[in-house]
Amino acid sequence: MARFVDRAVLHLQAGDGGHGCSSVHREKFRPLGGPDGGNGGNGGDVTLVVDANVHTLLDFHFHPHAKAGNGKGGSGDNREGANGAGLELLVPEGTVVLDQHGNMLADLVGVGTRFIAAKGGRGGLGNAALASRARKAPGFALLGEPGDVADITLELKSMADVGLVGFPSAGKSSLVSVLSAARPKIADYPFTTLEPNLGVVTAGAEIFTIADVPGLIPGASQGKGLGLEFLRHIERCSVLVHVVDCATFESGRDPVSDIEALEAELAQYTPSLSDDLAERPRLVVLNKIDVPDARELAEFVQADLEAAGYRVFPISTATHEGLNALKYAMAEVVATDRSSRPAKVAQRIIVRPSAFDEEQFRVVEDPDVDGGFIVSGVRPERWILQTDFNNDEAVGYLADRLARLGVEDKLSKLGAQPGAPVQIGNISFDWEPTTLAGVNLEPIERGSDRRLDQPERVGAADRKALHRLRRGLEVENPELVDTDIEVLRARLAPRDGGQAAWDDEGWSDTKWDALDERDADEVREQEQPR
């Protein structure tokens, strides 16, 4: 048996972008072919599409997880990766999309309306697209961006023209069954209707839909009975119809008090899509007048209700008495409401560019790390995701991008010290202001960046100073020595085994003597005035 589900929570995963390719063209008789790595493909989107043949969210109730396809990676010879397969989820008309906090993201009205619920990641650029005057043959490529991960809630708000409200067992489902071809469940006990019932009614030239929602009781706004959960289905209705049971034997109930109690509960409900429900036109149906006592009660209260401004219709769903007058009155109100609304136009895709952020990034002090900083912004965080931190040249390219954006200058102005921890996205690193960024450097081996290299070779002035300290002499021209003199002395201090720290490679006196002349020449060159 089919179930009516009007609320579902979806866990969506858009496709990841494919990685760019780092490749160099190789062909016979064509030296220096240049970079030819292609771009990665974009990840697929998860899109909600309104379909006229879908009437419930039942499929999403049993299959709440949805994932689009990933983009393929680029390859050599300038071949771009294929885009990931997009995923379209068909939803009924009147579906409202909410985020995790209950904020409305979209109201899907109109067949064919589309809404991208999760955006696929962009594919990474290959080294052919990254080639420039400074980097003629990049030895790296950008990584693909991950796709969006979203948890959304779908709520179905029926597109009915007439909404029936009333106490349990007032005859709402019976009224739907006699006015339309719908066949809802009908029984002689309260809360027979546990889900909304919709039917199509024809009255002359007018065709409209009617919705029966589960019964309301006093305290429904506090969750009693079935609560106000199903009232979302009457938010779009043109007219609300009070269905009153005139044959009830419950003490303390009469048509006037029933209507007042229902109006009090409706006042507690705040629709998220439309105006206040108090502004909707009302009709009152006094049902079950086929019972003699009910007919007498209906005749007794009809004048009072009409004096209060209601249009009253005594009916009997058992004998069909008064149904034609009620049906044409509903059609009249619906036609008036339709004529007052603006004409429907075809759905158009509206492209709204995002607001331009003049700052483009923000740098704040890290409250959890002493002396640390946090850099936030769409562009820096996206660049972090695109960077392969196993490739020094890619890291150098990231440093250039951040420097051109002004991150380095901003950190300096905020008093960042060398070695200060800096957090960008999910990556933390130690800030080194001595690392040049934003300058054109002579390229070396592909995939490396000389700014990130830590050379272990000791300069000529340091070797000369170590040679003199080893012989117990004073260092000449200490201002030319790159390393502090005390640090050099510590290197010469004997270890536990009796060997000096600088003698690990077996540097003998003969080797030091052989270097005297060469070191002296290099030191003399440094001493020459420029």
Task: Map out the domains of the chain with their CATH numbers.
Answer: 7-156 (2.70.210.12), 162-340 (3.40.50.300), 362-431 (3.30.300.350)
Q: Which two tokens stand for residue 263?
A: 């109006």
pLDDT at 514: 47
Coil/strand/helix, residue 464: helix
pLDDT at 55: 74
pLDDT at 227: 54
pLDDT at 462: 74
Rounded CA separation 344/109 (Å): 11
The reply to whether 303 sits in an annotated binding site is no
The reply to whether 376 sits in an annotated binding site is no
| Contact between 230 and 7 (Cβ < 8 Å) | no
The reply to whether 435 sits in an annotated binding site is no
The reply to whether 267 sits in an annotated binding site is no
Its pTM stands at 0.64
Which segments in the chain show pLDDT lower than 70? Answer: 1-5, 158-159, 182, 184-196, 215, 217-233, 252, 270-278, 342-358, 433-447, 449-459, 480, 482-483, 487, 490-530
pLDDT at 497: 46
Quick one: which of 173, 211, 210, 209 has its CA closest to 190?
Answer: 173
The reply to whether 195 sits in an annotated binding site is yes
137-154: pLDDT as tens digits: 898 999 999 999 999 999
Rounded CA separation 132/440 (Å): 11
266-302: pLDDT as tens digits: 777 766 545 566 678 888 888 888 888 888 888 888 8
Coil/strand/helix, residue 270: coil
The reply to whether 121 sits in an annotated binding site is no
Rounded CA separation 387/122 (Å): 13
The reply to whether 279 sits in an annotated binding site is no
The reply to whether 251 sits in an annotated binding site is no
The reply to whether 522 sits in an annotated binding site is no
Contacts of 188 by beta carbon, 8 Å cutoff, 6+ apart: 169
The reply to whether 443 sits in an annotated binding site is no
Quick one: which of 139, 129, 147 has its CA closest to 385?
Answer: 147
pLDDT at 406: 87
Rounded CA separation 474/461 (Å): 13
| Contact between 23 and 75 (Cβ < 8 Å) | yes
Contacts of 435 by beta carbon, 8 Å cutoff, 6+ apart: 399, 451, 452
The reply to whether 169 sits in an annotated binding site is yes
Across-strand partners of 245?
Answer: 287
